[in-house]
Amino acid sequence: MDTGILAYGGYIPQSRLQRSEIAKAHTWFAPGLRGLAKGERAMANWDEDTVTMSVEAARDCMTGLDRDDIAAVYMASTTFPFQDRQNAGIVADVLALKSGIMTLDVGSSQRAGTSGLSIALQTSAAANNTTLLVTSDKRRTKAASPLEMTTGDGAAALLLGQGNVIAKHLGSHTEAVDFVDHYRDENNNYDYGWEERWIRDEGYLKIAPAAINALLEKTGVKAEDISTFCFPVAMARVAGMLAKNLGIPGDAVADNLQANCGEIGAAHAVVMLVHALEHAKPGDKILVAGFGQGCDALLFEATDALASYPARRGITGHLARRREETNYNRFLAFNGLINMERGIRAETDKNTGLTTLYRNKHMAQRFVGGLCTACDTPQFPKSNICVNPDCGEVGTQEDHPFADKISHLNSYTADKLTYSPDPPSYYGMIQFDGGGRLMNDICDIAPDFELQVGMSMRMMFRVKDYDNNRGFRRYFWKATPTDEALASQKTNKGE
């Protein structure tokens, strides 16, 4: 039975910071940044981190699939929100997966995504089970650094196992080399990088070929038979140089998404793999490599099942779901790169009672409400008494999921007085299709977007608030306009 990729998904935040605005802010100090000022980089909102982005990628991946089949969740990143709380465990809980599964965080290297992919494939093949791999990064960068220009935020997810795979795993090979092109120690928030030419000549062009050639020899596949070559490096022309040296066709070099997304750190190899699968044909051979203190090389072959694979928003769909951002100061504020006076209202103590959080985690993280078994009335939150005035039964509530339900906006407010990291604060009453309503926060509202009563909404897992005194963040679900609602408004405006 073949082992490989059963499903894929992706997530890219909708805001795209224009690199020209970054360069404009720093021309007085670093005029050389103008050479990198083309295109845009994906920019996470203030309430997004690698956990929330991983959840969205996983939800995209698991659309229409049975989550009970998942035996393990691996999360790969170099920017985990928690250093001592398992981040993969949060993702698994939010997805309402069963508790009897393996969860694992993979980090400490820019090839964490491909290393996690290799591990997941090995364990799935050995144990004949299904593994969900999520990988995401949101790297902090120093202002006026080249990395600020070339990075981006996002996530990708793969469901791996045996059976009717859409991409068969042909083989893997790893070269572990303690080649320090950059590093970040435990006391710093920013990477320290070395000289680019040395990294290119001694790193990319020597270590990566060793891994790839070993993989091709192991699998018996010729370099000229590679259909797509995914090598996640922002440095121009490096992937093309590698392909030429290896004998891989030049037209097989995959788009590194630098123009409209940026390099998503440890996640970028898997992001490029998902993007390649979205455009692949049965029989295509996809080579993906992850570089960082060595190199992982993995080879896949698209199967006939890919031709009938149900549509996902994926990387392509999320790239299309974009909003141009020209306010560089908003990027600085969202990433804690500027010391702002946030006002007295921002000083409210955000201490989270961990006992309360645990007792209510199905409500807060899984977004589970109740359904009355006596009258079939859904409600959120779940309570001991049915909210239906014609019922009022006690103790008849069973768990009822709301996270994937579409809702409609009954009312809304744009509050400029209460504190918000991105004012105004939007919230309103949403009515779920089939029953149930909730007064809830609304996210991802562009300054020129007009909320409308009756507009269709969907739920997204986000950061509710930050406790900066204790280093904790609390999550909850927020409503955002559906793609149909966004498209409808653009049509009405004649865009």
Q: Residue 490 has what pLDDT?
A: 65
Residue 493 above 80 pLDDT?
A: no
Residue 492 has pLDDT above 70, yes or no: no
Count other C-beta atoms under 10 Å from residue 9's C-beta.
26
> pLDDT for 291-325, tens place per residue?
999 999 999 999 999 999 998 999 999 999 999 99
| In the chain, % of residues over pLDDT 70 | 99
The DSSP code sequence of 4-37 is EEEEEEEE--SEEEEHHHHHHHHTTT-GGGGGG-
Please give the pLDDT value at position 36: 93
Buried-state track 392-425, b at ≥16 Cβ within 10 A, e below 16? eeeebbeebebbebebbbeebeeeeeeebbbeeb
pLDDT for 491 equals 62
Band the pLDDT of 485: cuts 50, 70, 90: confident
Whether residue 488 has pLDDT greater than 80: no
pLDDT, tens digit, for every residue of 271-286? 999 999 999 999 999 9
| DSSP designation for 309 | P
For the cut 90, the answer to whether the pLDDT of residue 489 exceeds it is no
What is the arithmetic mean of pLDDT over 223-236? Answer: 95
Domain 405-492 grouped into CATH 2.40.50: yes
Amino acid letter for position 21: E
The predicted-structure confidence for 410-445, as pLDDT tens digits, reads as follows: 999 999 999 999 999 999 999 999 999 999 999 999
> 3-334: which CATH number, 3.90.226.10, 1.10.10.10, 3.40.50.150, 3.40.47.10?
3.40.47.10
Average pLDDT, rounded, for the chain: 95
Chain CA centroid to CA 426, Å: 23
pTM of the full structure:
0.96
Sign, Cα dihedral of 253, 259, 260, 262? positive
**Per DSSP, what are the bridge partners of residue 302?**
167
Q: Is the pLDDT of residue 262 over 90?
A: yes
> How many other C-beta atoms lie within 10 A of the C-beta of residue 73?
28
Q: Taking 90 as the threshold, does the pLDDT of residue 389 lie above it?
A: yes
Q: What is the mean pLDDT of residues 480-490?
A: 85
pLDDT per residue over 103-124, tens digit each? Answer: 999 999 999 999 999 999 999 9
Number of Cβ atoms within 10 Å of the Cβ of 246: 17
Q: How far apart are the first and last CA of the chain?
A: 49
Flag whether pLDDT at 19 surpasses 70.
yes
The yes-or-no verdict on residue 153 having pLDDT over 70 is yes
Condensed to tens digits (0 to 9), the pLDDT of residues 62-77 reads 999 999 999 999 999 9
Whether residue 230 is predicted with pLDDT greater than 70 in this model: the reply is yes
On the question of pLDDT at 258 being above 80, the answer is yes
Percent of the chain with pLDDT over 90: 93
Domain boundaries, the chain: 3-334, 405-492
Longest Cα pair distance anywhere in the chain, in angstroms?
A: 75
Q: Mean per-residue pLDDT for 230-236?
A: 93
Average pLDDT over every residue of 173-192: 95
| pLDDT tens per residue, range 327-377 | 999 999 999 999 999 989 888 999 999 999 999 999 999 999 999 999 999
Residue 159 has pLDDT above 70, yes or no: yes
Find the mean pLDDT for residues 228-232. Answer: 98
